């Protein structure tokens, strides 16, 4: 991508007032700018108490830090002016830097330059933003592991395996007289199997890493008065949702965030699923169904005292993204008859820990906390495309016996994997990534839950609530 090697500057501390405010400058004009403001350039990597001048007088007093190229975060000359954190004095200092030849940096441009100067790869650049935006301790630690290169190391090792596969296939095609017929040679099948195993492991870890950044969406669904709102309040520890005995009290999607073993969960309480001629309630049901389709997990709340619903509760267990909660067990005389789902009472708290344990198991949280690295949805997509290419290679090799066509698939796989670290990527992708540094997380998880949800859950929740006309 185009890289204009000019000098950029920006405030490196949050807006508002604070004890310390930092102006960061990077580029070829740092030395000239520094001498105009400080009178002389500080010794590299030595904090120096200085006066910051605007040519007419002193703007502020503080610490100056100079990093000479390439020994800086961006790989360029870098100067940090650390003064008092008042917005006026920082604006005066930034204006002075700009008047001396710098321009205001764009969103994420310091990290972008670090990437373009090969100080960090693309996953490490994203980890910088993830570390800044971390909402939990687990997310922060995972971002640090990504920043240290743990994720990059896994991807690079995977790329090396794919390259080795490409070399063998292409050599077998180009120099057939030097090799046995690789269609009858099991070596390539063994190599493919090894790559499949590795890419599946990395894909699984990456999916867990995305949860550290994006969190998980968990939706409470069920018939009216099944106890969804009461369960919402129990899980969050707050009276988030209104609880009454009147069916249809909840008409919109209610959001609340909580942490489960360091992973942020976005918990959504929804309208009771039933047919309704009330326009407001019908819209609430529509939004509930949409939330269920997009969710990472659905907690299907079933009234354990409702015999008609209990007869079909077993069908809910067929979907891996559904956790069945049999609520109101305190109203059931013989709980031995309840053979499926988690027995709970949102009123008394019975079964709460069991539900939390089930959520952790379904989301794979035990594999994340304390050991995982952060990742993003684009990484999952790239790994998925790479895996799809290998599936095509295996089909061509084993089923079609078209060995001469196999070489293209590992090439496509390698290209997709290289997009993760930025060894191969487009300018448009880079622009989107670095612009997001200042606007927060923009990726939405890709899900294919909708059809299964409608088939399995909707009929159950609609029992006994058909239109009067039939």
**CA–CA separation, 91 and 257 (whole Å):** 36
Q: How far apart are CA 43 and CA 4, in angstroms?
A: 27
* Mean pLDDT on 390-407: 77
Residue-wise pLDDT tens digits, 104-113? 999 889 999 9
Residue 31 has pLDDT above 90, yes or no: yes
Nearest to 297 by CA among 139, 457, 138: 457
> In the structure encoding, which two tokens stand for residue 259, read together?
């942490």
Residue 378, token pair as written in the block: 């684009």
Name 261's bridge partners: none
Kindly give the interhelix angle for 30-38 and 87-99, rounded to the nearest 10 degrees. Answer: 120
Query: Of 191, 156, 155, which Cα lies nearest the Cα of 171?
Result: 191
Q: Where are the domains of the chain?
A: 8-118, 137-212+376-425, 215-366
Judge: domain 137-212+376-425, CATH 1.20.58.390: no
Averaged confidence pLDDT in the chain: 80
How far is 55 from 14, CA to CA, in rounded Å? 27
What pLDDT is attached to residue 20? 95
Instruction: Convert the pLDDT of each residue in 346-371 to its tens digit.
Output: 889 999 999 998 888 888 766 555 56
Render pLDDT for 192-203 as a digit per residue (tens, 0 to 9).
899 999 999 999
By the 10 Å C-beta count (0-12 exposed, 13-18 middle, 19+ buried), 437 is classed as buried
Residue 397 main-chain phi, psi, to 5 deg:
-75, -50
293 is written with which tokens? 């389709």
Neighbouring residues of 76: CB distance < 8 A, sequence distance ≥ 6: 5, 26, 27, 28, 30, 69, 70, 113, 117
Q: Residues of 405-417 as b/e, b for ≥16 C-beta within 10 angstroms? A: ebbebbbbbbbbb
Q: Are 369 and 138 in contact (CB under 8 A)?
A: yes
> What is the architecture, at CATH level 2, of domain 215-366?
3-Layer(aba) Sandwich (3.40)
As its CATH architecture, domain 8-118 has 2-Layer Sandwich (3.30)
User: Nearest Cα to 329, choosing from 313, 273, 246?
Assistant: 313
Under DSSP, the state recorded for 143 is: H
Question: Closest Cα partner for 302 from 220, 219, 218, 217?
Answer: 220
Say which residues have a Cβ less than 8 Å from residue 108's Cβ, sequence separation at least 6. 125, 129, 433, 434, 435, 436, 437, 438
What pTM value is reported for the model? 0.72
The model's confidence at residue 97, banded by pLDDT at 50, 70 and 90, is very high
């Amino acid at each position: 991508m185009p890289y204009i090697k000019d000098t950029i500057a920006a405030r490196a501390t949050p807006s508002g007032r604070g004890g310390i405010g930092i102006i960061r400058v990077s580029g070829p004009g740092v030395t000239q700018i520094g001498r105009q403001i400080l009178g002389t350039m500080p010794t590299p990597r030595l904090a120096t108490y200085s006066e910051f001048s605007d040519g007419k007088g002193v703007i502020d007093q503080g610490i100056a830090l100079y990093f000479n190229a390439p020994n800086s975060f961006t790989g360029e000359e870098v100067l940090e002016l650390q003064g008092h954190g008042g917005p006026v004095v920082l604006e005066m200092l930034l204006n002075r830097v700009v008047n001396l030849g710098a321009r205001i940096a764009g969103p994420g441009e310091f990290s972008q330059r670090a990437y373009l100067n090969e100080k960090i790869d693309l996953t490490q650049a994203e980890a910088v933003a993830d570390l800044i935006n971390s909402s939990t301790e687990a997310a922060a630690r995972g971002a640090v592991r990504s920043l240290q290169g743990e994720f990059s190391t896994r991807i690079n090792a995977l790329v090396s395996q794919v390259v080795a596969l490409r070399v063998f296939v292409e050599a077998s095609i180009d120099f057939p007289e030097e090799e046995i017929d690789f269609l009858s040679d099991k070596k390539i099948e063994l190599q493919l199997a090894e790559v499949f195993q590795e890419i599946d492991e990395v894909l699984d870890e990456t999916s867990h890493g995305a949860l550290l950044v994006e969190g998980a969406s968990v939706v409470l669904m069920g018939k009216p008065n099944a106890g969804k709102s009461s369960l919402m309040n129990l899980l969050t520890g707050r009276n988030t949702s209104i609880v009454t005995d009147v069916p249809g009290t909840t008409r919109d999607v209610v959001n609340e965030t909580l942490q489960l073993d360091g992973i942020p969960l976005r918990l959504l309480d929804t309208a009771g699923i039933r047919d309704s001629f009330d326009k407001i309630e019908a819209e609430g049901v529509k939004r509930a169904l949409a939330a269920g389709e997009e969710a990472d997990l659905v907690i299907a709340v079933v009234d354990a005292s409702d015999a008609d619903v209990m007869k079909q509760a077993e069908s809910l267990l067929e979907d891996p993204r559904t956790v069945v909660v049999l609520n109101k067990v305190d109203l059931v005389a013989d709980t031995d008859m309840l053979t499926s789902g988690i027995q709970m009472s949102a009123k008394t708290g019975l079964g709460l820990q069991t539900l939390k344990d089930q959520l952790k198991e379904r989301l794979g949280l035990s594999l994340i906390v304390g050991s995982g690295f952060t990742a993003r949805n684009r990484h999952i997509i790239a790994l998925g495309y790479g895996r799809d290419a290998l599936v095509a290679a295996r089909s061509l090799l084993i089923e079609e016996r078209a060995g001469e066509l196999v070489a293209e698939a590992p090439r496509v796989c390698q290209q997709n994997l290289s997009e993760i670290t930025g060894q191969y990527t487009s300018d448009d992708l880079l622009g989107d990534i670095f612009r997001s540094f200042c606007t927060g997380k923009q990726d939405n998880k890709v899900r294919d839950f909708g059809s299964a949800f409608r088939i399995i859950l909707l009929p159950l929740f609609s029992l006994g609530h058909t239109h009067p006309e039939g």
